[in-house]
Each structure stands twice: as C-alpha cells, then as structure tokens.
Amino acid sequence: MGILWTILIGFLIGLVARAIMPGKQEAGFIKTTLLGIGGSLVGSFLVRGIGWGQGVGFIGSVVGAIIILAVVGMMNKD
C-alpha cells in the first residue's frame, strides 16, 4: 500500500509543479510521477542540508520538483 501512496502523492506533486512552472512541459503520467518523487528527494536533501529537520512536506517536495524542471529546462534549451 505504501508504494501506491508514493505514486499518488508523487503524481500530485508533479502536477502542481508543472502548473506553477511557466512554459510547456510535455510529460505523461509516468514522467509526472517520477518528477514528483524526484522532487521529494531533492526537497528532503535540501531541508537536511540546511538543517531544518528530517522530513520534507508537500511544499518542499513541490519546490524540489520545480528545481528539477528548471534544470531540465536549462539543459533542453538549444
């Protein structure tokens, strides 16, 4: 059951990040879910690095996903 929650929450985080980030990000269900899960990992890494605690919330996960979208957007600019 934990994997299903991870997929669902990752998908929601990815959707919110894509809605906030300007521009066109073409991604299906799987890429959006992976974006959200990766955003949670990046957000938790940043929170621990700053020293604000152990866990990361929904907003921290969305910020992490936006960071990933920004980096991918810079890499794809040709």
pLDDT in tens, 53-77: 777 788 888 989 999 988 988 888 7
Of 34 and 49, the one with more pLDDT: 34
Element housing 3 (H / E)? helix 2-20
SS3 per residue for 11-76? HHHHHHHHHHCCCCCCCCHHHHHHHHHHHHHHHHHHHHHHCCCCCCCHHHHHHHHHHHHHHHHHHH
In this prediction, residue 23 has a pLDDT band, given cuts at 50, 70 and 90, of confident
pTM: 0.83
Structure tokens at 72: 């991918």
In this prediction, residue 78 has a pLDDT band, given cuts at 50, 70 and 90, of low
Residue type, 71: V
Domain ranges of the chain: 2-76
